[in-house]
Structures are given as structure tokens and as C-alpha cells.
Amino acid sequence: MAATSKPKRAALYLRVSTDRQTVENQRQALEAVAAHREWEIVTAYSDKGISGAKGRKDRPEFDRMLNDAQRGLFDVIMVFALDRIGRSLGDLLKTIEHLKECRVDLFIVKFRGDGETLDTTTAGGKLLFHITGAFAEFERDMIVQRVNAGLDRARAKGVTLGRPRIDKKVEEAIRKALAKGDKGKHKLAAEFGVGSGTVARIKAALAARKD
């Protein structure tokens, strides 16, 4: 008699943006999917009152889940929707790459607006992920190319790139004020209407001359 395979161990990741919201609807939907697939839910991670705009370190339960993935505590992470797990496609790709290294799969009930799921436990899900990643990389390359092309056009028209230099008279007045040494860079910046970084640059240039 052939031995029956063990059910996949699933971890749930639940997140809501405010304390007034509840994660129970997400939990129930994921529990139903797990029951249908005969996956065993072994743990759940819940970030409450935390915006999806926050990174990994600002989502303690999300961070703990990824650390536990490295420890091999589960086989698949289940999430209700894409926006629950990441701020962007780039975030999702980083998460999946991390899970791939941990040999942990990802299941997202609502991956796209048309109701399509992402399930990397299947060959089709892995293919969808790789295609999505390829398009994301292509999009990043296109953005870089458009930015570089814009900079080249600006240079060709004689446009000076970077922060504009301040008026020479203002710069000289800042030098004299710095030489007196009775005011800090923030006070001088406010007095002359420039950024504190500009004052710091002039101060560094003065110090270099003395050396």
C-alpha cells in the first residue's frame, strides 16, 4: 500500500491598514481555500493598523514570517490579496525570491483584478511569476532608458543639470558670515534663504582652502 503524502503546511499572512478594520474576512477566505486544497494551517501572522506602504522592518509580523520561512516552519504562505503583502510588484518579486531561497511557496487568492490567483505550488503559477518578473524588469529598464534619453536631450539644448548655483554675492556673504563663526549653518541658511546643504558645501570649501 502506497504511503499517503503529508499535507502542505500553510501559514496565513493577514494585514489591515487601520485598527478599526478586522482580519477575520481574510482569515475565513484563506481557511476555506486551505480546506479545499487539504493544506494544514500551522500558524498565522497578523499586522493590524499598518499601511501597505510600510517596508518589511515596519511590519513586525511580516518580518517574523519571512524569518520563520528560513527556519522551514511551513511550506506555503497564503495571502488574500496582492496589496496585503507588498507595496508594489517590485516588493512582491523580492518577497517571492526570498521565499524561493527558503523553498517556500506563495499563494495569493486575488493576484489580479480579474480574480486570477497566484499559486507557485503549481507549474502554471511558477510560469506566471517568471513572466510577471520579466515584465517588471523590462519596465524598469524602459524607465531608465527614458530618463537617460531625457537627460541627453536636456544637455543637447544646453540645459545645466543639477542644483542651480547660488548668486556669487550671496555665496561671498555666506563665506564672511562663516568666517566670523558666531552662527550655525541652519541659522545662516535661513538668513540667506538657501539650503543648509549649500552652507555646508561652502564651509567645506573654506576648510579645504585652509588645509
Which pLDDT tens digit goes with each residue over 107-132? 988 876 666 778 888 887 777 666 66
The pLDDT tens digits for 158-209 are 766 656 667 788 888 888 888 888 788 888 888 888 888 888 888 888 777 7
DSSP string, the chain: -PPPPPPPEEEEEEEESSTTS-SHHHHHHHHHHHHHHTPEEEEEEEEES--TTS-GGG-HHHHHHHHHHHTT--SEEEEEEHHHH-SSHHHHHHHHHHHHHTT-EEEEEESSTT---EETTSHHHHHHHHHHHHHHHHHHHHHHHHHHHHHHHHHHTTPPPSSPPPPHHHHHHHHHHHHHT-S-HHHHHHHHTS-HHHHHHHHHHHHHHH-
The mean predicted confidence, pLDDT, of the chain is 81
Task: Answer whether residue 133 shows pLDDT above 60.
Answer: no
Of 113 and 105, more confident: 105
Residues annotated catalytic, as ranges: 17
pLDDT value of residue 1:
46
Task: Answer whether residue 145 shows pLDDT above 60.
Answer: yes
Q: Point out the least confidently predicted range of 2-6, 18-22, 41-45, 136-140.
A: 136-140
